[in-house]
Structure 1
């Protein structure tokens, strides 16, 4: 399943998908609130229909990435997210769900990657 999706170990430090579903026809990518973590959203994967898969973004300086410095440049954040997400969402049905601060991050991501 992971090889089919193009998911690599380095993606997993940025993208948290607790409940992987090879048969999913839709992927929901969640961006946590400023100061928040990915686990809150990643747990949604347990309670949603089998046709969906939830991927939550884990930023540097949070959760399992506490030993990393917080990003100080929006371009750096977007580049890291794009590199991790593109193999997962490319050619797939997906939606972004953001909460406040990170809504601007994924809007920036969308503009940089999709236009």
Structure 2
């Protein structure tokens, strides 16, 4: 199928699973170098009644001919604008972001609260420190060798296929732009949102120490929860079943709180990972 025109919201927001009468929407923001398709398999373990949406950043896969976005001030507002057609009812919205996506999700939640008067039901941040903290170490340079080394350090076997000679030249421009975005974005002044936050991380992630991930609690005036997993930066692939169970519990808890405040009715039932 041909890709959507770059100017349309459909080119940004992909439905990984469509629910006719969605009672909950989960919007996923990919990591640096990531794509919307990273979340395709989640449809098999999310609860019934959950509309699964993912953001496709420009400059990759079917949007590879479009210029990459390399600043948060450009990226987050464009995501929020593209999201508007999916906010035409009162279904609770939960945001999920892994690594770079955690910062994008935070800024999207902040813009929704400040500029659109809509507070998400919850924000789930994964494998990332809050943006008001300085980075644990220096960001890598922008040469191909430096980018490849950083991808392998963080992603291990997950990144090996994308770094094969036939794909490397297609992948590295978007990775370079994403790394530039996170380098220029961090650190930020402490800014709080009212959206509840759940923070997740792998205990063996050397680049994102768990004790710093827990400081997301200072970024919200709402409720805060946290959970650790075995594994490194991509613990969510290494321990998918445990991760799926925790995400299901988090979104049900967040959406439940939202429904009690807005009296919107019944929520999706939390299922077992790997089952619909």
Normalised TM-score (structure 1):
0.82
- What residue in structure 1 maps to residue 155 of structure 2? none
- What residue in structure 2 maps to residue 102 of structure 1? 101
- What residue in structure 2 maps to residue 56 of structure 1? 54
- Residues in 2 aligned to 1:50 and 1:110: alpha-carbon distance in whole angstroms: 24
| Residues 15-34 of structure 1 aligned to structure 2 (within 5 Å) | 15-34=13-32
Measured after TM superposition, the shift of residue 78 of structure 1 is 1.1
Q: Secondary structure at the match of 1:29?
A: strand
- Residues in 2 aligned to 1:85 and 1:43: alpha-carbon distance in whole angstroms: 21
- Residues in 1 aligned to 2:64 and 2:19: alpha-carbon distance in whole angstroms: 28
Q: Secondary structure at the match of 2:16?
A: coil
- Residues in 2 aligned to 1:70 and 1:31: alpha-carbon distance in whole angstroms: 15
- What residue in structure 2 maps to residue 38 of structure 1? 36
Measured after TM superposition, the shift of residue 97 of structure 1 is 0.8
Q: Could you give the per-residue CA deviations for residues 3-34 of structure 1, whole angstroms, max 9, x where no partner exists?
A: xxxxxx92221011032112110000011111
Normalised TM-score (structure 2):
0.36
Measured after TM superposition, the shift of residue 94 of structure 1 is 1.4
- 1:92 has 2:91 as partner: yes
Q: Which has the larger radius of gyration?
A: 2
| Residues 8-19 of structure 1 aligned to structure 2 (within 5 Å) | 10-19=8-17
Q: Secondary structure at the match of 1:18?
A: strand
- Residues in 2 aligned to 1:77 and 1:34: alpha-carbon distance in whole angstroms: 13
Q: Could you give the per-residue CA deviations for residues 41-62 of structure 1, whole angstroms, max 9, x where no partner exists?
A: 1342244332111000100111
- What residue in structure 2 maps to residue 6 of structure 1? none
Measured after TM superposition, the shift of residue 72 of structure 1 is 2.3
- Residues in 1 aligned to 2:95 and 2:16: alpha-carbon distance in whole angstroms: 17
Query: Structure 2 regions of 5+ residues with no counterpart?
Result: 1-6, 115-276
Higher relative CO (Cα under 8 Å, sequence separation at least 6) belongs to 1
Query: Structure 1 regions of 5+ residues with no counterpart?
Result: 1-8
- What residue in structure 2 maps to residue 5 of structure 1? none
1:19 and 1:46 in contact (8 A); partners too: no
Choose from 73, 76, 83 the match for 1:75.
73
Measured after TM superposition, the shift of residue 108 of structure 1 is 1.2
